[in-house]
Amino acid sequence: MTVEAASAMVARPEQSTLGQKFRMRRSAHIRRMIDTIHAEKGSCRIIDLGGTEHYWRLFETSYLASKNVSITLVNPLPDASVSHMFTHLQADACDVAQAPDNSYDLVHSNSTVEHVGDWSRMKAFAGEIRRLAPRYYIQTPYFWFPYEPHFRLPFFHWLPRSTRVHLQHRFTLGHRQRRKTIDEAVLSIEEVRLLDLAQFRFLFPDARIIKERVFPFTKSLIATKG
């Protein structure tokens, strides 16, 4: 993940009430995985690629403590923990060379794979997920959902690339401030690459794919293993 991507992810796309409801619903999947791991091992070591301590407020501290959960947050920018439960690891999520194979119980990643770069980096990211733990939980917004959650515009991601660059150069779009130069606008547009179902299945062929729906539309995709 680039520094540009990491900076953009400080403001996550789903901070609305609706987004929070979806996150709470997703947390049930993660709790079941944590419960299973704790029942087997008496503890649960999680590595969160692109994660933040704020995200884990979905879970009561008492619950995480009762399951002996420890969480390593991987980001390219340095950070410091405010809780002993968290460790910050400054690293590229596509190449976490500091971590040996299967050194964690669960890999978690929420709205990160679409930020890591081009297809080759997405494949590297998926490979690291499978390498780092026997279980994983990966979520990403869906390309064919009509509302783009980063730029907060309907159909924005379906527009021609040149149109998206032009709009980003002229206007503030959602969490993305107006870019002063064409170069900055291009980088902003290229930093988000939403995935469709076939691409997501290719990246995580050993996973169960869950479609998160809003009425008839699939909003997000979730890959779980274990």
Domain count, the chain: 2
CATH at residue 95 = 3.40.50.150
Tell me, yes or no, whether 199 and 135 share the same domain: yes
Tell me, yes or no, whether 12 and 101 share the same domain: yes
Three-state SS at 7: helix
- pLDDT for residue 25: 80
Q: Which residue has the higher pLDDT, 31 or 226?
A: 31
One-letter amino acid for residue 150 of the chain: H
| Residue 152: band (very low, low, confident or very high) from pLDDT cuts 50, 70, 90 | very high
Q: Which residue has the higher pLDDT, 226 or 192?
A: 192
- Is 14's pLDDT higher than 80? no
The mean per-residue pLDDT over the stretch 188-212 comes to 97
Distance (Å, whole) CA 37 – CA 113: 24
Tell me, yes or no, whether 179 and 216 share the same domain: no
How buried is residue 68: exposed, middle or buried, by Cβ count under 10 Å (0-12/13-18/19+)? middle
Tell me, yes or no, whether 139 and 110 share the same domain: yes
Question: Which one, of 61, 25, 76, lies nearest residue 219 by Cα?
Answer: 25
Average pLDDT value over all residues in the chain: 91
Tell me, yes or no, whether 116 and 208 share the same domain: yes
Tell me, yes or no, whether 93 and 118 share the same domain: yes
- Which element (helix H / strand E) includes 120? helix 119-132
Assessment of whether the complete model's pTM goes beyond 0.75: yes
Question: Which one, of 72, 26, 24, lies nearest residue 50 by Cα?
Answer: 72
Query: Domain span at residue 179?
Result: 151-191
- pLDDT for residue 78: 84
Tell me, yes or no, whether 108 and 217 share the same domain: yes
- pLDDT for residue 79: 83
Please state whether beta strands 44-49 and 106-110 pair in parallel, antiparallel, or not at all (unpaired).
Answer: parallel
Q: What percent of the chain has pLDDT over 70?
A: 91
Tell me, yes or no, whether 27 and 10 share the same domain: yes
Tell me, yes or no, whether 208 and 186 share the same domain: no
Distance (Å, whole) CA 180 – CA 184: 7
Tell me, yes or no, whether 105 and 178 share the same domain: no
